[in-house]
Structure 1
């Protein structure tokens, strides 16, 4: 015979005495609001209702995507665009596991994402007793993909846990944090104490001796180069000034795309994966790398052998000895460190800056080599990318997916400048990022143009977020290059001499699906048709899914 297990009570447990008190749920929401949180993403569930109950009263808007993975990607893009932590709220068990892929992507791309969830009750036994959403350990699961996963043990600890998360975001390499509040603590009342907030933290600047050595090395450089990653985003002006002062060509990772305008005479764009640029980088006598791992996800191969001095600027000291160890490590905030480096260089400038004509001629030749490598895999995409670029304003936010049209097409061949942004899931390489990320970006800046770029395979990981985009009623073009399945994996199978298996998907009328959700959908069979559809989509309320048909590899 089995006995039923009653669910935990959802009625507040009164604190002793008559002093003012608050539930754990309100304590949590007040702590978020005290740290400047005004927007959250998530889906309410049985165990997190005490959190949702207090959001509006404390000035926090809530957007409910159709899946927790979508909530995570939306919060990720919100954080990338605003520079403030993105917040996602899930319920217990499967909901938290649903967001785990987005947490892993945020960890890979150094995004400050805060995930808040209930957990099993405070005194829940280690042995399973069959509670709703019960799992062995949520914190152990999230520790595999987050920087920190912390389970609080009292109402009083909730505020400190939130403050700790924001301290980590402000003082260390920004990465996702998970806070678990036992579901009974959410309705337990504790003393109404003042909210604890993270102390203000000034930007960390690199060691003075290292700055002197770096300045001396840069001033003596004959063939300098600058490599920019996502960690350089807040120092765009300083990066450009260094490049121009030393005549140093700039190459970026996908996350660094557009920090220096890709139309600038010194810009090589995103092309670290090309043999020509990797060979060129190995011939530089000084390389200044800012906010980048210089890892396989950036290089598409093992790091190249460098013949010159490598100066690395990074907030994370561990980056100084991973992948390509730094000859001169500058550990600190990119903006503060580069400003100090410019000041240290003020008494002279590198010899590379003395012959801009020679530098520009050499870069022109290098671009020819680079394009010879990259145009083959993107030849059919180039006219469409040119049409997109011609239509979109300079401040457009582009979100992309792990799709051929993005990493072979838009990343190297769709120029972006500092006024625009390009958000891409590098490293962890999740699928389905583009659409929910575009929703997060549009939530952050509703008046700014936002366009999602995806493939048909990746889109269908989060296609249900079209319903969320309809709910927003904001213009949101979603451009989908349809090659009938998982084109990259199909091509890899063919390259191995294998027969393609499980990569060809049944055709889906994606524009009709968008219309079924209440949005708009069209097919663009030419670059001109794509340009016309984009122009219309940018002024049409709700999402417009634009399918560009591609011929699949066979």
Structure 2
């Protein structure tokens, strides 16, 4: 890549060079991908970048999951790379995760030569049609001169709107020259939303009058966790969180009622149904079976499209919580509050009863270990600043039910797409993006096998992370639902490999245990291991509460 005298890229850049320079200008640190015939020119150019690190993955789907997880963790753009045809198709699962969870990801794919578009040549597929269901913008570059405008639009979509965006580049276009300089990232792109004061005043009046308030907190409130705590204490409100938002509120606080839904707490369901006003902060999850059918609800979200989705709304406020929640809190402080003594007693009683039930469940030592006890031990062992990547499966329910999160932890999940195999790629991305933090992946045996070969990626990049696999030899959630419905459990059993030996074959370390002592010892070893460490825990096949087909 050539540069002019002032250190900025010159005007003789190729498409590949310009694309990399533009990503550098926007602060991209990593690209996750798989090499292929149609992206070789791009990779050659990327090899000369000192600002962007290329992470060679074993599967494009895992590369896209890594990009999605990095975007969720950091708020920056995640970038993934694939070749034409099957490479692009393999990205789809990870891009769906990003799209469903509003994680800003840019997917870059190679494409066959422009002269062969629309023919039956090998690996040709109309990639824009392929990506249409997942991306707000999927663009094909057919002329290098179009790249500056086209790429800037894709980056804005990804970073500002949390969208999955896609760019395909034909093999013969990578080396085209273009004039013009990369468009720098501008802080003006993140100007705060100016929420009308009258919208906040209406909400404050309702909150101050409410006798049984509940705060329902989602991951969108990540920047205002101290304000959420202050507001909850001022309003004497019960607090409920989504799964990824668990660390945003002290889990041992007397007003904390747990998560929402089957993977949440029964206390949360009870208190929501008794509440006379719910304040929804940065959350979009509203499961019909666990929420009141008629709720008086105030919702604050930076996206108007998220307001009143699947639920009634008393007041909807468009605003950035980082700006409007401190103002709302100050306004609430100036008003007299309703008498909530009865609600405080009710909340305390319901949450205390729930916590006693959890303690009893987690203390029941079985052989093999129950998932409840395993989650308790993980919670006790996880460092206070850990990133916890949780896969999808039966263990997800037990995690949200039992795990007591610490305030400086981060929980990463495949929220709405709920793909198997999320945890390990997400843990890899987390350790690369924030290497100073301990990282733990929690997966079931069914999910872990989907992306297990990315353990090699973790070894290759010398990432000291912990992978914990709960092995109950089945797709337990599906098996239990079939059992409840009287169906034959065909396909629910799993024949697993020896996971620790697989970890060792990849160059890492691993242990298997079926006892409490063994689990504690393995967690201790993992915490000081210089290489990726896998713990396989033989797990009792417990059926989660409220299981149904």
User: Could you state the TM-score of these two structures normalised by the residue count of structure 2?
Assistant: 0.90
What's 2:4 paired with? none
Structure 2 residue 305 is matched with structure 1 residue 318: yes
Asked if structure 2 preserves the Cα contact closer than 8 Å seen for 1:387 and 1:528, the reply is no
Q: Relative to 1, partners in 2 of residues 1:414 and 1:373: Cα closer, same or farther, differing over 3 Å?
A: closer
SS at the partner of 1:234?
helix
Deviation of the 1:111 alpha carbon: 1.1
Give 2:32's match in structure 1, choosing from 36, 41, 46.
41
Q: How does 1:343-492 map to 2 (within 5 A)?
A: 343-348=330-335, 350-351=337-338, 355=341, 359=344, 362-369=347-354, 380-407=370-397, 409-492=398-481
Structure 2 residue 95 is matched with structure 1 residue 103: yes
Q: Which runs of 5+ in 2 are unaligned?
A: 1-9, 365-369, 544-549
Deviation of the 1:292 alpha carbon: 1.5
Asked if structure 1 preserves the Cα contact closer than 8 Å seen for 2:361 and 2:372, the reply is no
SS at the partner of 1:62?
strand
Asked if structure 2 preserves the Cα contact closer than 8 Å seen for 1:397 and 1:449, the reply is yes
What's 2:127 paired with? 138
Q: Residue deviations 1:79-105, cap 9 Å, x none?
A: 222221111111111111111111111
Give 1:532's match in structure 2, choosing from 505, 514, 521.
521
SS at the partner of 1:117?
strand
Q: Relative to 1, partners in 2 of residues 1:345 and 1:375: Cα closer, same or farther, differing over 3 Å?
A: same
Q: Residue deviations 1:330-381, cap 9 Å, x none?
A: 11222212123223324125336x64x9615533324525875998799622
Asked if structure 1 preserves the Cα contact closer than 8 Å seen for 2:255 and 2:351, the reply is no
SS at the partner of 2:38?
coil
Q: How does 1:230-245 map to 2 (within 5 A)?
A: 230-245=219-234
Q: Residue deviations 1:169-227, cap 9 Å, x none?
A: 4543x121112223322111112435354553212243322111011111111111000
Q: Relative to 1, partners in 2 of residues 1:183 and 1:209: Cα closer, same or farther, differing over 3 Å?
A: farther
Cα distance in 2 between the residues matched to 1:361 and 1:216: 23
Give 1:195's match in structure 2, choosing from 183, 186, 210.
183
Q: Relative to 1, partners in 2 of residues 1:333 and 1:522: Cα closer, same or farther, differing over 3 Å?
A: same
Cα distance in 2 between the residues matched to 1:213 and 1:204: 18
Asked if structure 2 preserves the Cα contact closer than 8 Å seen for 1:294 and 1:324, the reply is no
**Number of residue equivalences:** 525
What's 2:168 paired with? 180
Cα distance in 1 between the residues matched to 2:276 and 2:255: 17
What's 1:218 paired with? 207
SS at the partner of 1:200?
helix
Deviation of the 1:20 alpha carbon: 4.4
Cα distance in 2 between the residues matched to 1:441 and 1:242: 31
Q: Relative to 1, partners in 2 of residues 1:350 and 1:113: Cα closer, same or farther, differing over 3 Å?
A: farther
Cα distance in 1 between the residues matched to 2:496 and 2:239: 42
Q: How does 1:137-156 map to 2 (within 5 A)?
A: 137-156=126-145
Give 2:268's match in structure 1, choosing from 277, 284, 295.
277
Asked if structure 2 preserves the Cα contact closer than 8 Å seen for 1:281 and 1:306, the reply is no
Q: Relative to 1, partners in 2 of residues 1:51 and 1:340: Cα closer, same or farther, differing over 3 Å?
A: farther
Q: Relative to 1, partners in 2 of residues 1:507 and 1:152: Cα closer, same or farther, differing over 3 Å?
A: closer
Asked if structure 2 preserves the Cα contact closer than 8 Å seen for 1:271 and 1:412, the reply is no
Give 1:30's match in structure 2, choosing from 15, 21, 40.
21
Q: Relative to 1, partners in 2 of residues 1:336 and 1:375: Cα closer, same or farther, differing over 3 Å?
A: farther
SS at the partner of 2:173?
helix
Cα distance in 2 between the residues matched to 1:184 and 1:332: 45
Asked if structure 2 preserves the Cα contact closer than 8 Å seen for 1:481 and 1:549, the reply is yes
What's 1:6 paired with? none
Deviation of the 1:129 alpha carbon: 3.4
What's 1:503 paired with? 492
Q: Relative to 1, partners in 2 of residues 1:371 and 1:161: Cα closer, same or farther, differing over 3 Å?
A: farther
Q: Which runs of 5+ in 1 are unaligned?
A: 1-18
Structure 2 residue 515 is matched with structure 1 residue 523: no
Structure 2 residue 290 is matched with structure 1 residue 305: no
What's 2:5 paired with? none
What's 2:53 paired with? 61
Deviation of the 1:258 alpha carbon: 1.3
Asked if structure 2 preserves the Cα contact closer than 8 Å seen for 1:277 and 1:370, the reply is no
User: Could you state the TM-score of these two structures normalised by the residue count of structure 1?
Assistant: 0.89
Q: Relative to 1, partners in 2 of residues 1:232 and 1:405: Cα closer, same or farther, differing over 3 Å?
A: same
Q: Relative to 1, partners in 2 of residues 1:302 and 1:119: Cα closer, same or farther, differing over 3 Å?
A: farther
Cα distance in 2 between the residues matched to 1:378 and 1:399: 24
Q: Relative to 1, partners in 2 of residues 1:375 and 1:497: Cα closer, same or farther, differing over 3 Å?
A: farther
What's 2:12 paired with? 21
What's 1:295 paired with? 286
Cα distance in 2 between the residues matched to 1:519 and 1:143: 39
What's 1:548 paired with? 537
Q: Relative to 1, partners in 2 of residues 1:374 and 1:26: Cα closer, same or farther, differing over 3 Å?
A: farther
Cα distance in 1 between the residues matched to 2:202 and 2:102: 28
Asked if structure 2 preserves the Cα contact closer than 8 Å seen for 1:238 and 1:335, the reply is no
